[in-house]
Amino acid sequence: MPIAQQPHGHLRSFGRIQARPLKPRQAALFDTLLPSIAVPEGAFDPRALAPEAKEVWLEIGFGGGEHMAGQAARNPQALVIGAEPFVNGVGSALRHVEEQGLKNVRLHHGDVRDIVAGLPDASLDRVFIMFPDPWQKARHHKRRLIQDDFLAELARVMKPGARLRFATDWANYADWALEKILACGAFAWPAERADDWRVPPADHLTTRYEEKKLGDCAPVFLDFVRA
């Protein structure tokens, strides 16, 4: 099987899977903590994972988990589901969950499209896509997460009025995402002035990745509403 091709037929929208060996503590959490907070395989109702939750949020590609954990800590009323294929990122997130004693986080170690495919219609209240792999070269744009078919699936699982935040520090990807998401027809973009996408939203949590400034522009924050 080609390395860029996944079993479900989609081109892989992420790069490396592991950069270095896991630290012993993180490796242990894969065996002790992850099984108890892992998202079930196949179709599932997120409300069954946390019946007391008033909202269900999804973070796509949570990186090291700082943003996801921070949002979960600030919003105990929400069940926060995170998906990340990068082994070291999952290990880092597990550490954050354990250290902060978070009870409202569930994780998927793998492609988020597997989760979205298993979700019921109109089951999510909020979605974060924070600094996804930009695949800068034009020939690699087909590997970007933001594609027509994925947006259609995302719209299916988001409630009317649910919020979607897309953030990137690559200018071309910001333009690409804005065009694709608006063309989808399922999302409204209520921005009225430049500060609405240039200034970090009030509830934004800066991550280590963001601080590295690896992109070609200042971070762009695009907040949409499911129509």
- The CA distance from 128 to 164, in Å, is 6
Give, in order, the Cα–Cα distances in Å from 86 to each of 13, 37, 114, 164. Answer: 12, 17, 15, 22
Q: Is residue 31 among the annotated active site residues?
A: no
- The CA distance from 80 to 71, in Å, is 8
Token digits of residue 53:
């939750």
> Can you spell out the DSSP letters for 49-118?
H-TT-SEEEEEES-TTSHHHHHHHHH-TTEEEEEEE--HHHHHHHHHHHHHHT-SSEEEEES-HHHHHHH
Residue with tokens 């400034």: 213
- What DSSP state is assigned to residue 11? B
Token digits of residue 190:
């209520």
Catalytic residue among 111, 125, 133, 169: 133
CB 112 within 8 A of CB 89: no
Which residues are tagged catalytic? 133
